[in-house]
Amino acid sequence: MTNPYAKPKRAAVKAKPTKVQPPRYGAAEAEFLLKTRRQTSDDPNVLKGIDWRRIPYSSTFLSFACNKKVSVDSFYVKDISAWLPYIVVPNYIPTCHRCCSKAGVDVGRFRWVKHPKTLCDVKTHRYLDSVYCWCIPCNNDFLAWHDAVLESDAEEIFSVLNFRLSNRVAVDEELHSFIVAHGTDTTALTHQRLKSLHTDHWLNFATIYHCAVLAKRVKAIPKRGRIDSMLTDKPETANQKRRKSLRWDYTTLKRKVDSLQSAFNADVNFMSIVHRKENRNSIGESFPGIGKGKCQTLISKGIKTAKELLIYDRDDPAIKHTWKYIVQKHYDDLETKLN
């Protein structure tokens, strides 16, 4: 007899590609990502014949030798890096960071992460995708790019995954090398050099796009809905121009008000000021006159935030009254701007 109180067993279901939520990228990027996931789920071995670090949307869209027209999506859909370690590295099985064992890991049973990481490059960016692997003894899955997994298997994946990973973004080896090589430069100078590289890259890319349009190698976008009414040859009327200008001014002012209100309501942590003022580009940024040493003095006295300093009423010679005036002036200035 069967036990009527026993929980029904769940049937083994093949991993299906997770639908990509589009807030971090456009619809065309989401479609390309979903297509790549479908192909990889059907046959993970497709990654063996290509460079998993850069899976392009189209490998021939910049070639003018072909008379075939390309879509507009070809010009702005970013490449994908697909980290499926047991496919990329031969005979490799990731270590479960919970039980610290490879024995019960079922690499054939996986599911895709909800959101790929933005993988930053020197000139542009792409997306780093990965999966959750299933561990039978733990009866749970784990991330293939989890810090503990990468640390446990460092010897096996050495020189294969050269990306620096954080919570939501990652840095590829080229950008990491660039930052290390310019480690003696100021942060502002390094940032300006990267901006110049991005600008130069996109100017060259825009030139290629315009040449493709002039050569009639780009498919026309069908006009539909509200876009159809926007793309007309009729000049704007005076009322339309004024309305557009007022809408822009309103949006700009609203953003300023929201930013000031957020700054006025927020409490400033002195430890964060210490970290920021370690960089000489941030000196004088907030609370001019209260430097790194004074912040450390306040922290040592148990005063960790700006609002704690304002309500501090003890007579301590180490805490100067002028420090309160500086903090109070900061909030008074914010309130004046807000009003």
Model pLDDT, residue 13: 43
Single-letter code of the amino acid located at 153: D
Q: How far is CA 32 from the centre of its chain?
A: 18
Phi, psi of 105 (to 5 degrees): -85, 125
User: What pTM was computed for the model?
Assistant: 0.60
Q: Is 208 in contact with 201 (CB distance < 8 Å)?
A: no
Task: Compute mean pLDDT per 10 residues along the chain, 339 residues long, and list them.
Answer: 44 48 72 91 84 82 65 84 88 90 88 91 92 91 91 88 88 92 88 91 88 82 60 75 91 90 86 73 67 86 87 84 87 88
Model pLDDT, residue 193: 92
The partner residues of 83 in beta bridges, in order of sequence, read: 130
Task: Say how far apart CA 110 and CA 15 lie, in whole Å.
Answer: 6
Label the pairing between strands 117-120 and 169-171: parallel
The residue behind tokens 């953003």 is 255
Per-residue CA distances from 307 to 277, 284, 304 (Å): 20, 19, 9
Q: Is 84 in contact with 78 (CB distance < 8 Å)?
A: no
Q: Is 319 in contact with 301 (CB distance < 8 Å)?
A: yes
Task: Say how far apart CA 335 and CA 264 lie, in whole Å.
Answer: 7
Task: Say how far apart CA 236 and CA 245 lie, in whole Å.
Answer: 12
Model pLDDT, residue 200: 92
Model pLDDT, residue 37: 92
Model pLDDT, residue 20: 45
DSSP run (H or E) holding 128 = strand 125-135
Handedness of CA 2, 7, 9, 13 (dihedral sign): positive
Phi, psi of 216 (to 5 degrees): 60, 45
The partner residues of 82 in beta bridges, in order of sequence, read: 129
The partner residues of 159 in beta bridges, in order of sequence, read: none
Tokens of 167: 């919570």
